[in-house]
Amino acid sequence: MKNNNLTLGEFIIENQKHYKSTTGEFSRLLSSIKLAAKIVNYKVNKAGLVDILGDVGDTNIQGEDQQKLDVYANEVFMETLINREIVCGIASEEEDDFVSIKGKRGTNENKYIVLIDPLDGSSNIDVNVSVGTIFSIYKRITPVGSPVEIKDFLQSGSQQVAAGYVVYGTSTMLVYTSGHGVNGFTLNPAIGSFYLSHPNFKFPEEGKIYSINEGNYVHFPQGVKDYLKYCQEEKDNRPYTSRYIGSLVSDFHRNMIKGGIYMYPTSAIGPKGKLRLLYECNPMAFLAEQANGKATDGYRRILDIKPTELHQRVPFFCGSKKMVEKAAEFMAKYP
């Protein structure tokens, strides 16, 4: 390890100058997320040894079978953020509705809300493959001191103050942006600190990896089928390589380092796509744009979409700029 690496804590303090607020509220919020990530990491790391694998026999509001780790990670992030009284509202993939946090004295003077996918890549938990956490942070638009309302959560992605993910992989990393580029921090498990290991992440403009669940091919729109054919043609530096983990966080992370495109389009079986706009696509789109990449629903910029529902789904095309633009060219032929 390089000795001169900053810890995440030091980095947050050094970057406080970027935020207009001087209350330290935003820094304390990031520190709480860091703490919750370490707790979840500890459990994920020994998942095969403790009774945390498998499902709980329940479904979330979207009809997905909840895994024990989905529920555990949700509890950790919710409790950490609620007990430390750091935010005024939270929405989570695993909660039916948003939660308004009153605070000790009955009024809550905090101004930030958090949207979270506590455990991304549920299907990979039991097979020891990388999973993640995704978070998105906004300032509330309703007055401070009153209960939060649904409109605080339905802001378009371009209003995000910060967003990031944790990838529990071969090493555990926390990657985030507060609108001034993207930085990655690797956890040193012996010490329990995250260190700045990947300053100023950038997607290569062009890439050679495409990531999509090709098992759904027959159900894809024609534009996606045509783009996949383009990726597989032997011409001009093609065929590209196909890589798909099935954890958005891990697929995104690899593509940001190596250059690639991630796609979860609409299909005949999922006419709205699968991924959720508020706590999956918006934060990843903000990170992508901050890292010189691009994110669309095939036609429109993700960050411009005005949300209408907490658990809204949206098709997602994200990654290296030129690849996302090329995919959009094929989509545009079938408006």
Only one of the segments 5-13, 99-107, 113-121, 175-183 lies at the binding site for ligand AHG (rule: CB under 6 A); that segment is 113-121
Residue 136: left (phi > 0), alpha (psi -120 to 50), or beta? beta
Residue 85 burial (C-beta neighbours within 10 Å; 0-12, 13-18, 19+)? middle
Residue 55, annotated ligand binder? no
Cβ atoms of 299 and 192 closer than 8 Å: no
Q: How many residues bind ligand AHG (CB under 6 A)?
A: 12
Across-strand partners of 210? 242, 261
- Local structure of residue 298 (DSSP, 8 states): S
Q: Is 93 one of the binding residues for Mn ion (CB under 5 A)?
A: yes
Cβ-based neighbours of 273, under 8 Å, separated by 6 or more: 264, 265, 266, 267, 297, 313, 314, 315, 316
- Closest to ligand AHG by CB, 15 vs 213, is 213
Q: Is 251 one of the binding residues for Mn ion (CB under 5 A)?
A: no
Q: Which residues of 59-81 are buried (b: 16+ CB within 10 A; e: fewer)?
A: ebeeebebbbbbbbbbebbbebb
Partner whose footprint covers residue 274, from ligand AHG, Mn ion, none (CB < 5 to 8 Å by kind) = ligand AHG
Q: Is 184 one of the binding residues for ligand AHG (CB under 6 A)?
A: no
Distance (Å, rounded) from C-alpha 308 to C-alpha 317?
Answer: 20
Distance (Å, rounded) from C-alpha 295 to C-alpha 283?
Answer: 10
Smallest distance, Å, CB 217 to ligand AHG? Answer: 12
Angle between helices 282-290 and 248-258 (to 10 degrees): 10
Q: Is 64 one of the binding residues for ligand AHG (CB under 6 A)?
A: yes
What is residue 61's three-state secondary structure?
coil
Smallest distance, Å, CB 117 to ligand AHG? Answer: 5
Residues 114-173 that bind ligand AHG (CB under 6 A): 117, 120-123
- Which residue spans within 140-259 are E strands per DSSP? 162-168, 172-177, 182-188, 193-198, 209-211, 241-242
Residues 223-282 that bind ligand AHG (CB under 6 A): 246-248, 274
Residues 31-50 that bind ligand AHG (CB under 6 A): none
Cβ atoms of 274 and 262 closer than 8 Å: no
Distance (Å, rounded) from C-alpha 310 to C-alpha 329?
Answer: 30
Residues 27-86 that bind Mn ion (CB under 5 A): 64
- Closest to ligand AHG by CB, 108 vs 247, is 247
Q: Is 117 one of the binding residues for Mn ion (CB under 5 A)?
A: yes
Partner whose footprint covers residue 27, from ligand AHG, Mn ion, none (CB < 5 to 8 Å by kind) = none
Cβ atoms of 113 and 138 closer than 8 Å: yes
Residue 48: what residue type? G
Q: Is 92 one of the binding residues for ligand AHG (CB under 6 A)?
A: no
Residue 46, annotated ligand binder? no
Partner whose footprint covers residue 123, from Mn ion, ligand AHG, none (CB < 5 to 8 Å by kind) = ligand AHG
- Closest to Mn ion by CB, 116 vs 291, is 116
Residue 130, annotated ligand binder? no
- Closest to Mn ion by CB, 110 vs 122, is 122
The first and second tokens of residue 33, run together, are 């997320």
- Closest to ligand AHG by CB, 187 vs 263, is 263
Partner whose footprint covers residue 297, from Mn ion, ligand AHG, none (CB < 5 to 8 Å by kind) = none
Residue 280, annotated ligand binder? yes
Binding site for Mn ion (CB under 5 A): 64, 93, 117, 119-120, 122
Residue set of the binding site for substrate: 120-123, 213, 244, 274
Residue set of the binding site for Mg(2+): 93, 117, 119-120, 280
Binding site for ligand AHG (CB under 6 A): 64, 93, 117, 120-123, 213, 246-248, 274
Residue set of the binding site: 93, 117, 119-123, 213, 244, 274, 280
